[in-house]
Amino acid sequence: MSEQNGYQKHEDDQLYKLRHSLAHVMAQAVLELYPEAKIAIGPPIDTGFYYDFDLGTDAEGKPRTFSSEDLEEIETRMKRIISGKYPFEYREVSADEARQLFADQPYKLELIDGLDAGEVDEYGNEIDEKPVISTYRQDSFEDLCRGPHVEHTGQLRTDAFKLMNVAGAYWRGDEANPMLQRIYGTAWRNKKELKAHLKMLEEAKKRDHRKLGRELEIFIFDEEIGPGLPLWLPNGTIIVEELEKLAHEMETNAGYEHVRTPHVTKEDLFIRSGHLPYYAESMYPPMELDGIKYYVKPMNCPMHHKIYGSKLRSYRDLPVRLAEYGTCYRYEKSGELFGLMRVRSMQMNDAHIYCSVDQFEEEFLGVVGLYLKYFELFGLERYVMRLSTHHPKGLGKKYVDNPLLWAKTEEMVRRAMEHGGVPFVEVADEAAFYGPKIDVQVWSAIGREFTLATNQVDFAVPPRFDLTFINNEGQEETPLCIHRAPLSTHERMVGFLLEHYAGVFPVWLAPEQVRIIPITDAHNEYALGLEAQLQAAGVRAAADLAGERMNAKIRAAQMMKVPYMLVVGDQEIENESVALRKRDGSRQNDLPFGEFLALVTERVATRSPLL
Ligand SMILES: [Zn+2]
Ligand SMILES: [Zn+2]
């Protein structure tokens, strides 16, 4: 699994070449089996490769697609091509030669036009300079391609790839274009890696947060409420509130102050903040009231800026750290909504730190330290910090147009990370519109990757809001602003934690911590007494008085992954004890109730991962 996580989109990488070469082999196999197919593009991706095909339409005018039997046939054909050990041969061609070569391939012709005009590469991505037009050929198949590839098909392992599925994909991602059939394959260096990947996928399916969310009654979506707008059920609300409590404690200890701000704000504020010019596509449309346009907020930043600016600040007051679990609304396309991971309403573990340039490094590293504390608490051992920088091409469009400040802040972040000894990788053209950011990717217990948190430096917005402080020379100075959200949004975090823990939450996060199970009705009263004592101690406990048999009650508690079950009968009443059954199957009979109470309260108070 680690190889998969270590994958870099680097073209010299052997895995990149293997995957790219398999995409070509797949296209050859498809053309041999479906000579009428039109081929589009086929790049390597982070777990394998895909290729897009157009098989024309059926009698009803719907795009023809591939069945799973077709995929098997294509896979078999690919293995035959691989065993032919055909070399991958590179050549450069003129645009006209390329047009002749691909005369009956309309998608390739469109790409050649783009290449010839110097606008796009062979994947249709925008590029800076006019490219060389080149092809790669193996056996009977020649593709428009700049490579690189393995030397010959014999270097591909027939037991280390698998065709996975077919999905519809619009040509160039545009809904106005024809729908193509995208075949996804997964490919690895060897059979063992492939097996590990397939196993991880299987495990991920079991841990799917949408499935667990339903089973454990964490959240639902409702059509009448709208897509991407989750409803937290009582169990989910408990988890959300525990996370808020955690954040509140950690932030208070780190010198943050908490604030609360409204969900709706006048248009002018978002023009001033820069959200409207740069971020309008992701915002809900405005509503009009008394002739004034109001927007629901996509972010909490401008409100916090207003709070900072509401009084005169001196250098002695800095840093000012304002935190809020703020609810935001963003317009995500319905096709992009995904369970709790991509939603339209979200509550963010937000905060803004206003500091001087001198204080920047310490504050920035303080935030990084906070992330690391959370990771330790949740048992996240693998994470990567990614420094996202701007791209000069996007200045004035995607990014605030101030090249000098970009260079300066990017260097400040780089230096802070280096001084703090925090390992990071750098990625160009992924910054926020107002400054560089650190994205934190984490891997769940089964090795699934998530982007959870961001930490952003903002040099552009404080001056727009006229934010200042009086420095020690009595002069007005503009502070820097750090935006951070280590616990992400409740939606993303709970979705992630559901998959990370497979719903088996540590005691402090478990919606129900203790289930008390009387053996017969005669023991109900004792059970209720225990319930009351546990609840009085702040433990989430419930006695199950349903008229079911004991074993059925135990199964019901196990289904909900309740950490502790206390079975009580005559003996327990006599000894003021409980028969403890833990979620992991271990048991302790005749445990004095006081000892159990001490155990559960200790686990909760220390947020222990132990049972
Ligand atoms: Zn290629
Ligand atoms: Zn912000």
Query: What DSSP line would sit under 100-131, residue for residue?
Result: HHTTT-HHHHHHHHHHHHTSB-TTS-B-SSPP
The region of weakest confidence among 211-225, 256-270, 418-432 is 418-432
Q: Could you tell me the residue ranges of all domains in the chain?
A: 2-196, 212-377+456-501, 514-605
Beta bridge partners of 567: 517, 579
pLDDT of residue 373: 94
Q: Give 144 Cα–ligand 1 centroid separation in angstroms.
A: 6
pLDDT tens readout for residues 67-81: 999 999 999 999 999
**CA 104/CA 585 separation, integer angstroms:** 65
Task: State the distance from the centre of ligand 2 to the C-alpha of 380, rounded, in angstroms.
Answer: 25
In this predicted structure, what is the pLDDT of residue 435?
Answer: 87
Q: Residue 310 Cα, ligand 2 centroid: separation in angstroms?
A: 17
Contact 141, 28 (CB under 8 A): yes
What ligand has the least distance to the C-alpha of 122? 1
Cβ–Cβ under 8 Å, residues 562 and 509: no
* Number of Cα atoms under 13 Å in the Cβ half of residue 51: 26
Q: Separation of 477 CA from ligand 1 center, angstroms?
A: 53
* Ligand showing the shortest atom-to-Cα distance for residue 432: 2
CA–centroid distance, residue 55 to ligand 1 (Å): 20
User: Taken in order 246, 248, 249, 253, is the CA torsion positive or negative?
Assistant: positive
Give Cα 536 distance to the centre of its chain: 38
Give burial (CB, 10 Å; 0-12/13-18/19+) of 31: middle
Report how far ligand 2's centroid is from the alpha carbon of 235 (Å). 29
Ligand 1 center to 188 CA (angstroms): 18
CA dist 458 and 567 (Å) reads 56
Ligand nearest to the CA of 23: 1
Q: How much distance in Å is there from the Cα of 436 to the middle of ligand 2?
A: 13
Distance 229 CA to ligand 1 centre (A): 41
Nearest bound ligand to the CA of residue 11: 1
Q: Angle 586-588-593 (CA atoms, 0-180°, nearest 5)?
A: 130
Ligand 2 center–CA 91 separation, angstroms: 50
Distances (CA, A) of 266 to 169, 259, 269, 291, 484: 39, 19, 6, 11, 24
CA of 22 to the centre of ligand 1 (A): 9
CB 162 within 8 A of CB 194: yes
Which ligand sits nearest to residue 111's alpha carbon? 1
Give yes or no for a contact between 230 and 346, defined as CB atoms under 8 angstroms apart. no
Ligand with smallest separation from the Cα of 135: 1
Q: What is the token pair recorded at 124?
A: 């249709």
Distance 338 CA to ligand 2 centre (A): 23
Contact of 86 with 152, CB cutoff 8 Å: yes
Name the residue with tokens 């795009």.
Answer: 63
Q: State the pairing for strand pair 231-232/219-220.
A: antiparallel
DSSP string, 208-220: -HHHHHHHTT-EE
**For residue 160, how far is its CA from the centre of ligand 1 (angstroms)?**
19
C-alpha 332 to ligand 2 mean position (Å):
19
The pLDDT of residue 116: 87
- The alpha carbon of 96 and the centre of ligand 2 are apart by a number of angstroms equal to 51
Q: Which residues have beta carbons under 5 A from ligand 1 (an ion)?
A: 145
Residue-wise burial string across 183-196, b where 16 or more C-beta atoms lie within 10 A, e elsewhere? bbbbbbeeeebbeb
pLDDT band with cut points at 50, 70 and 90 for residue 529? very high
For residues 21 and 49, give the distance between their C-alpha atoms in angstroms, rounded to a whole number: 9
Per-residue pLDDT reduced to its tens digit, 321-330: 999 999 999 9
The rounded Å distance from CA 218 to ligand 2 centre is 28
What are the angstrom distances between the C-alpha of 356 and each of 352, 374, 463, 481?
Answer: 13, 26, 13, 9
What the block records as the tokens of 322 is 């304002």
Is residue 10's pLDDT more than 50? yes
Q: Provide mean pLDDT across the span 202-221.
A: 93
H, E, C per residue of 26-85: HHHHHHHHCCCCEECCCCEECCEEEEEEECCECCCCCECCCCHHHHHHHHHHHHHHHHCC
* pLDDT of res. 130: 73
Flag whether pLDDT at 2 surpasses 60: no
Per-residue pLDDT averaged across 544-551, rounded? 92
Nearest ligand, measured from the Cα of 435: 2
Mean pLDDT, the chain, as a whole number? 92
**Percent of the chain surpassing pLDDT 70:** 97
User: How confident is the model over 573-584, as a mean pLDDT?
Assistant: 97
Ligand 1 centroid–CA 81 distance in Å is 16
Angstrom distance (rounded) from CA 515 to CA 532: 12
Q: Tell how strand 231-232 and strand 44-45 pair up.
A: unpaired
pTM, to two decimals: 0.81
Residue-wise pLDDT tens digits, 260-279: 999 999 999 988 887 787 77
Strands 469-470, 476-477: pairing is antiparallel
pLDDT beyond 70 at 128: no
Of 504, 498, 460, 495, give the one whose Cα is nearest residue 478.
Answer: 460
Collapsed DSSP state (helix, strand, coil) of residue 342 = strand
Looking at the CA of 147, which ligand is closest?
1
Q: How far is the CA of 6 from the centre of ligand 1 (A)?
A: 23
Ligand 2 centre to CA of 511 (Å) is: 30
Q: Give distance in angstroms: CA of 458 to centre of ligand 2.
A: 9
C-beta atoms surrounding 369 within 10 Å: 13
Which ligand is nearest the CA of 279, by number?
Answer: 2
Calculate how far, in angstroms, residue 52's C-alpha sits from the geometric centre of ligand 1. 12
CA 27 to ligand 1 center in whole angstroms: 10
Q: What is the dihedral of CA 324, 326, 332, 334, to 10 degrees?
A: 130
What is the pLDDT averaged over residues 285-302? 93
Of the bound ligands, which one is closest to the alpha carbon of residue 308?
Answer: 2
3.40.462.10, 3.30.930.10, 3.40.50.280, 3.40.190.10: CATH of 212-377+456-501: 3.30.930.10
| Residue 217 Cα to ligand 2 middle (Å) | 31
Which helix (H) or strand (E) segment is 5 a member of? helix 2-5
pLDDT exceeds 80 at position 7: no
Degrees to nearest 5, angle at CA 332 with 328 and 335: 150
End-to-end CA distance of the chain: give it in Å, rounded: 28
Ligand number nearest CA of 141 is 1
**Cβ distance 151 to 88 under 8 Å?**
yes
Å from CA of 145 to ligand 1 middle = 4
Surrounding residues of ion ligand 2, Cβ less than 5 A: 301, 483
Arch. (CATH architecture) of 514-605: 3-Layer(aba) Sandwich (3.40)
pLDDT value for 419: 87
- Digit-coded pLDDT (tens) for 41-55: 999 998 999 999 999
Q: Which residues contact 597 (CB under 8 A, 6 or more apart)?
A: 533, 534, 537, 539
Instruction: State how far the Cα of 520 lies from the Cα of 538, in Å rounded to an integer.
Output: 27
111's tokens:
């790409």
Rounded to whole angstroms, the Cα distance separating 287 from 66 reads 46
Indicate which ligand has the atom closest to the C-alpha of 456: 2
Ligand nearest to the Cα of 16, by number: 1
Minimum mean pLDDT among 291-295, 355-359, 380-384: which range?
380-384
DSSP string, 363-381: HHHHHHHHHHHHHHHTT--
Q: How many helices (H) and strands (E) does the chain have?
A: 19, 28
| More confident site: 255 or 463 | 255
CA distance 514 to 539: 8
What is the number of the ligand closest to the CA of 123? 1
**CA 350 to ligand 2 centroid distance, Å:** 7
Strands 514-518 and 541-543 come out as parallel
Indicate the burial class of 372 (C-beta count within 10 angstroms; 0-12, 13-18, 19 or more): middle
Closest CA to 14 of 201, 112, 151: 151
- The ligand that comes nearest to the alpha carbon of residue 455 is 2
- Report the separation in Å between the CA atom of 336 and the middle of ligand 1, taken as the mean of its atom positions: 28
What is the pLDDT, as a whole number, of residue 289? 93
Rounded Cα gap, residues 167 and 177, in angstroms:
15
**Residue 421 burial (CB < 10 Å; 0-12/13-18/19+)?**
exposed
Distance 272 CA to ligand 2 centre (A): 14
Average confidence (pLDDT) over 225-240: 97
> Could you tell me the two tokens for 309?
């600016």
Lowest mean pLDDT among 224-228, 351-355, 434-438, 516-520: 434-438
pLDDT at 11: 53
Q: Is the pLDDT assigned to residue 236 strictly greater than 60?
A: yes
Q: pLDDT tens, 179-211?
A: 999 999 999 999 999 999 999 888 888 899 999
Report the SS3 class of residue 241. helix
CATH class of 2-196: alpha beta
Provide the CA 410 distance to its chain's centre, in angstroms: 24
